[in-house]
Amino acid sequence: MVASSLQLRDVGKSFPAPDQPLTRQPVLETISISLEAGELVSLVGPSGCGKSTLLRLIAGLDFPDSGELLVDEEPISGPSAERGLVFQDPNLFPWLTVRRNIEAGLAARGVLQQKRSEVKEFMRLVGLEAFADAYPHHLSGGMAQRVALARALINHPKVLLLDEPLGALDAFTRMRMQDEVLRLWQNRRTTMLLVTHDIDEAIYMSDRIIILTQRPGTIEQIIPIALDRPRDRSSSDFLSLRSEILELLHFAGNRTSEVTA
């Protein structure tokens, strides 16, 4: 099995307030989520509701104040190559070429020699063979994000955490990249947790959408998306789901302030 299940039980996290270092502000409260292996779930919520914090907790880069996080029933004790993370900023290492950026995961685990053949496969997967020896600042935003995806995927993570990975892209590139991410997910069947601001993206991509409340973030609602794939962004089912979610987020009837960017 290439995917892991993920359980969050009553997870809470607080940070020191910026102006009063001695008091702590809660960011997340009593979050309980369960992801089945191979599921694609979106996290949607207002800015500052702790979506990114939640991903950092699952990645093992931060630790919760309360509650527990389990991957395949095992508690998360720190970062691991089994849980890949892709940020909004591709964060490619600027001193490495595209090829070496993609190889970084193998090199970090010390298995580059054995698995070098896979590098080519992943460059082909994201369509960047022609740019193997280019440095990151020569790439467009979409290309850079594809490299970041390939870099995360080369370790065959059982969970892939995506923190608004397409947020900085223009609308057309974003829609194309959504299909690419879906294709990668369907090929590899990794468990995916996607943070997004874009309701359309969430509906288009995910099996379920988790809507978080204002800070401190708690779960407001979980909406299963039962539409067949590939989904049609303009079908009536799609649009009615969309208005249902917008209503939940209190944006219905006020089209000028849609959260969809």
Partner 1 sequence: MLQGQKISRQSQVTVGSVPSDQVRAESTERYALSAQEKKHPTAALLTVPVTAALALGIHLFVAKNEPPNESRTYTIVLGSFFAGAIVAAVMQRWWPALQTRMRRFRPLFTVGVLLLCVWEVITSGFRMLPLPYFPSPAGVVQSMINDRGLLFDSTWHSLVLLLSGYLLGVVAGLVTGVCIGWSGPARYWGMPLLKVVGPIPATAWIPLAMVISPSALISAAGLIALAVWFPVTMLTASGISNTRASYLDVARTLGANARYLVFRIAIPAALPSIFVGLFMGLGASFLTLVVAESVGVKSGLGWYVSWAQGWAEYGKVYAALVIMAVFFSTIMTLLFKLRDRVLVWQKGMIRW
Which residues would be at the binding site for partner 1 (CB under 8 A)?
56, 59-61, 78-81, 83-85, 87, 89, 91, 93-96, 104-105, 107-109, 135, 137-138, 151-152, 155
Rounded Cα distance between 145 and 150, Å, is: 9
Q: Are 144 and 90 in contact (CB under 8 A)?
A: yes
Going by the DSSP 8-state scheme, the letter that residue 197 receives in this structure is S
Q: Which is nearer to partner 1, 123 or 245 (CB)?
A: 123
The sheet carrying 159-163 orders its strands as: 83-86, 159-163, 191-196, 40-44, 208-212, 219-224
**Cα–Cα distances in angstroms (integers) from residue 178 to residues 145, 171, 190, 204, 228, in the given order:** 12, 10, 15, 8, 16
Q: Which is nearer to partner 1, 63 or 93 (CB)?
A: 93
Q: Which is nearer to partner 1, 27 or 76 (CB)?
A: 76
Q: Which is nearer to partner 1, 109 or 120 (CB)?
A: 109
Minimum gap (Å) between residue 197 Cβ and partner 1:
19
Rounded Cα distance between 244 and 238, Å, is: 10
Minimum gap (Å) between residue 76 Cβ and partner 1:
12
66 token code pair: 């309360």
Q: Which is nearer to partner 1, 86 or 223 (CB)?
A: 86
Minimum gap (Å) between residue 231 Cβ and partner 1:
29
Minimum gap (Å) between residue 137 Cβ and partner 1:
5
Minimum gap (Å) between residue 79 Cβ and partner 1:
4
